[in-house]
Amino acid sequence: MDAKDQQIIRELQLDGRLTNNELAERVNLSPSPCLRRLRNLEKSGVIQGYTALVDQAAYGLPITVFIRIRLEHHNKEAVQVFEQHINRIDEVLDCYLMTGDSDYLLRVIVESLASYEDFIREKIHRIPSIASIDTSFAYGTVKQNRAFASVI
């Protein structure tokens, strides 16, 4: 991947609905080479898909929760069981494997504190081998950027 590919990615992260002609103009390429590069980025898996960005509060899910989970056991089976369960829970948007005191960090969105309690009782508590659950509620967003291509 070269700088031109990174430009293409950056522009698509800022506006995924660009036409190929608009994209080509923004990255200073003619449409045919731009489309070829775009298809190569998609085929190689660098671009994994396209999606709509939605205001979660307007959608009805205003509460963001970060949950740190520590497992009781760290054997292959316990890890697999935990990760399989997490992958089936819609409220969990992100799950990161962590270093430090916690094994996993989850980002969860819910509609209310009552629904969060149900989520913990009905979905998280049913997963075996969890030693501890530590919850933090986000009460505001300082920065949220979905375009990371400019970091390089």
Three-class SS of 15-35: CCCCCHHHHHHHCCCCHHHHH
Q: How far apart are CA 34 and CA 84, in angstroms?
A: 39
Q: For residue 50, how many other CB atoms are within 10 A of its CB?
A: 9
How many Cα atoms sit within 13 Å of 58 on the Cβ side? Answer: 3
User: Does pLDDT of 8 surpass 80?
Assistant: yes
3-43 CATH choice from 1.20.1070.10, 1.10.10.10, 3.40.50.720, 3.40.50.2300: 1.10.10.10
How sure is the predictor about 120, in pLDDT bands with cuts at 50, 70 and 90? Answer: very high
pLDDT tens figures, 17-74 = 999 999 999 999 999 999 999 999 999 999 999 999 999 999 999 999 999 999 999 9
Q: Tell me if residue 3 falls in helix, strand or coil.
A: helix
The pTM of this model reads 0.88
The CATH number of the domain covering residues in 56-138: 3.30.70.920
